[in-house]
Structure 1
């Protein structure tokens, strides 16, 4: 009997400890930090098997990073599950040791360090951390061009611009720590909020969100009632994997903007047979393909095409399908039957097969690729919106609008659709990953983006011919595709949970 009780007590204590650790952001970030760092260290040691000094150096740094983060994670585990139930100030100071690893590309340790240093972490602080990380990471990636023979004419202009922007981000982060830890931000923070909003011009969505969250809180007239969309963002940032996915997507978006200044496009498209099939080095971090083009530079510019095609080919069917679904759900009857039966015919054809058929008929081009992917997605969005409209159309506020004499168009677009957006937003977010994957797949088959344009599918296709002799040419674009698809999926999962009213 005593043994049974002791086992139950031990099991209960373990559950309590796991619950404490699960609610600790410091533990969550540190655990993932050392795990990812260790995995990357093993990968780099594999690349260094031929005695490459560069890969051995990188692998050694990541090994040290993983060990340091592992030790910190163990300390956090002991303190959070102990009597204090909190991380000690001494352990928090160790977070400063993790910050420099961002300069070797380990953003997991930078995030972990920032979350460890600060005890009280509100939404604005987390947004400022990710915003600063994006700007620092862009500079780190861009500075790799210093090892090349030539740089873009606007390279130093871009570095200077993003350097100033990084300093502004650090200043804003300090202002966040000083002025935003009450329910309503201090009036002194308003200039910093407007500076943050301006960050959208550089593609930094985190900076933009920081600004509008602070402004939304400040101008909220009823302080006792939380702003709904701010609550959605706050719930989203409780999911660390969703934040990581969001960071990767926003970083690729930002680096696509920055590449116009800091990267030389000619290196990505011009032939240079002197460095044909060159191995990875500081000059060419991902090596060169069979035409002597820098694979790293091609992947950077390829992110622009992949994201652009993915976003447009997701928003277009969302717009068209959403309108058709809203009309079908609102009017019902014959209109509903006609619209949905036509869309059933469209849905009967596999999306990738439909895209191939359209491109075969219209020819290979980026515009035709977007068109082919968009047409195949219309029926899915129409069904999603129609299902939501059927549930909303009979609500009292819709009946009240009809009683007041509102026109059907006003009711649909002003009352029904805004209250049906949550599942559509989630579908759009997760659909972007599928669109990027479809874009790369069609380009790999030779019927997507034109062959001379840097796009991840094209780069992967070029590298597939050298899988035995020079596998890195195909490995790196393949990893890029996997990462962006996973990022959209993680972000979509987190957004779905944040928008779910049952999980508020």
Structure 2
């Protein structure tokens, strides 16, 4: 490969992306170390700086030696291994590049297993911070040890299993046990386990070759997109940490007032500090993750379902039905979603249920228009005419033959819309129009922190970064799904 071809390769671009983000976090930790004069930030800044230097050297050597591991010298392989171990300093960017560079052949199973392992390490590390709290839950130690054992097991699976778990077509007893293991351990909230088990199930059980190949091609495109996989990784980390916090975090630290710990700076006991009521901000951000994520998903799925049905009916049936439904939705679409939500909440009160309803109503026209456009393109195709010719009912044709083939753009739209819904949820909570004030939702946490921006900026920085990270993750994942599903992109 020429130098230009190497620099255009997905792996090299992944390395450049990892280097830039590693440098950004190095600067951030240096700034925090300068402001707070703490050893933790200094060590993190030093670790990220060293890893950034190694990453830069590694990229330079890749240009000389090539992308494939077979052509790499011993020094390059050693540097790659060092980047894998950078995971334990929290540098997920260089670590994911190190794992990817060690692959002889990029496979779906190996990529999923590496990201499962990375998510496990973060879950263990972030959960283990509770050790420094005054007390922990009764189940904390048992769950933490179980998570450590699970992480070690995943590391051993990466090392000992074949890089490609889908080389053969026969479902062996060992593979059946692996699928069962992945499904059971997905209870930790790591949905990548479910994705891998589903892909293995499709590969070994699905008899329709075309569906099997279609699924394989889709996930191959997703796993080769490092931005999509990073987005999926951060979503999984946030969800699994928030889900497991039900069993590992003491709820009172997040919701009960403690006037002996007012406005404390970040420390091992309180990693994000405490707010003006003495509540632990780290616990509030972690517990609030599942709330923000759940509301974001609900306010996307509900309008997707309602809008999808209305759009399908509008696009398929008589023009009079189309005009009636779409003109009503156009009138609703003309009202800005956030203003409509504010009006509904002001009329019916501020609580979680009203928030979900308010945000869902405003998003219905968007999904309806997307589904209608797809139905209009599909309804006159030959296989639809053939279904009519054999006497199938209009409703059966619509929901059996048309809607399933019109779902791809809806899925892309939904993935991107979740990020928007999270922002809207946090914005309304920030204004005092979202969930109840005592609930540890990110908008509520950010609202409290905004009062102390000049004196205790960390109270607003950490929940703000959490919102940004989750929204960016869904946008990255949505872009990857769009590229994988849109034939025009290929």
Output the TM-score relative to the length of structure 1. 0.92
Provide the rounded CA distance (Å) in 1 between the counterparts of 2:375 and 2:395.
14
Provide the rounded CA distance (Å) in 2 between the counterparts of 1:245 and 1:178.
23
In the other structure, the counterpart of 2:272 is 286
1:178: Cα distance to partner?
Answer: 5.8
In the other structure, the counterpart of 1:238 is 224
Q: Is the 8 A contact 1:172 1:192 kept in 2?
A: no
- CA RMSD across the alignment: 2.1
1:337: Cα distance to partner?
Answer: 1.0
Provide the rounded CA distance (Å) in 1 between the counterparts of 2:396 and 2:142.
48
Structure 1 residues 279 and 172: CA distance shift in structure 2, 3 A: same
Structure 1 residues 224 and 304: CA distance shift in structure 2, 3 A: closer
In the other structure, the counterpart of 1:128 is 113
Q: Describe the SS at the equivalent of 1:381.
A: helix
Q: Is the 8 A contact 2:234 2:473 kept in 1?
A: yes
Provide the rounded CA distance (Å) in 1 between the counterparts of 2:164 and 2:19.
33
User: Residues 452-463 of structure 1 correspond to what in structure 2 (within 5 A)?
Assistant: 452-463=438-449
**Residue 145 (structure 1) aligned with residue 127 (structure 2):** no
**Residue 490 (structure 1) aligned with residue 476 (structure 2):** yes
In the other structure, the counterpart of 1:257 is 243
Instruction: Extract unaligned runs of 5+ from structure 2.
Output: none
Provide the rounded CA distance (Å) in 1 between the counterparts of 2:29 and 2:367.
42
In the other structure, the counterpart of 2:19 is 34
In the other structure, the counterpart of 2:150 is 165
Stretch of structure 1 that moved more, 460-469 or 105-114: 105-114
**Superimposed CA distance per residue, residues 420-478 of structure 1 (whole angstroms, 9 cap, x where no aligned partner):** 01110000000000000000000000000111000111111001111111111011111
Q: Describe the SS at the equivalent of 1:124.
A: helix
**Residue 405 (structure 1) aligned with residue 391 (structure 2):** yes
Provide the rounded CA distance (Å) in 1 between the counterparts of 2:432 and 2:443.
9
Structure 1 residues 206 and 88: CA distance shift in structure 2, 3 A: farther
1:226: Cα distance to partner?
Answer: 5.0
1:176: Cα distance to partner?
Answer: 3.9
**Residue 191 (structure 1) aligned with residue 177 (structure 2):** yes
Match of 1:396 among 382, 387, 402: 382
Stretch of structure 1 that moved more, 383-392 or 145-154: 145-154
**Residue 447 (structure 1) aligned with residue 433 (structure 2):** yes
In the other structure, the counterpart of 1:347 is 333
1:132: Cα distance to partner?
Answer: 1.3
Q: Is the 8 A contact 2:110 2:164 kept in 1?
A: no
User: Residues 58-137 of structure 1 correspond to what in structure 2 (within 5 A)?
Assistant: 58-80=44-66, 86-88=71-73, 90-137=75-122
Provide the rounded CA distance (Å) in 1 between the counterparts of 2:383 and 2:34.
67
1:217: Cα distance to partner?
Answer: 1.6
Stretch of structure 1 that moved more, 269-278 or 101-110: 101-110
Structure 1 residues 185 and 473: CA distance shift in structure 2, 3 A: farther
Match of 1:210 among 191, 196, 200: 196
In the other structure, the counterpart of 2:408 is 422
In the other structure, the counterpart of 2:460 is 474
**Residue 308 (structure 1) aligned with residue 294 (structure 2):** yes
Q: Is the 8 A contact 1:17 1:81 kept in 2?
A: no
In the other structure, the counterpart of 1:5 is none
Provide the rounded CA distance (Å) in 1 between the counterparts of 2:59 and 2:131.
36
**Residue 20 (structure 1) aligned with residue 16 (structure 2):** no
1:93: Cα distance to partner?
Answer: 3.3
**Superimposed CA distance per residue, residues 143-186 of structure 1 (whole angstroms, 9 cap, x where no aligned partner):** 11111111122211221332233233234324542662626476
In the other structure, the counterpart of 1:383 is 369
Q: Is the 8 A contact 2:116 2:192 kept in 1?
A: yes
Instruction: Extract unaligned runs of 5+ from structure 1.
Output: 1-12
**Superimposed CA distance per residue, residues 295-321 of structure 1 (whole angstroms, 9 cap, x where no aligned partner):** 111111111110000000000000000
Structure 1 residues 240 and 431: CA distance shift in structure 2, 3 A: same
Structure 1 residues 181 and 211: CA distance shift in structure 2, 3 A: closer
**Residue 270 (structure 1) aligned with residue 252 (structure 2):** no
**Superimposed CA distance per residue, residues 314-370 of structure 1 (whole angstroms, 9 cap, x where no aligned partner):** 000000000000001110321111111110111111100000000011101001000
Structure 1 residues 471 and 308: CA distance shift in structure 2, 3 A: same
In the other structure, the counterpart of 2:38 is 52
Q: Is the 8 A contact 2:108 2:164 kept in 1?
A: no
Provide the rounded CA distance (Å) in 2 between the counterparts of 1:482 and 1:248.
11
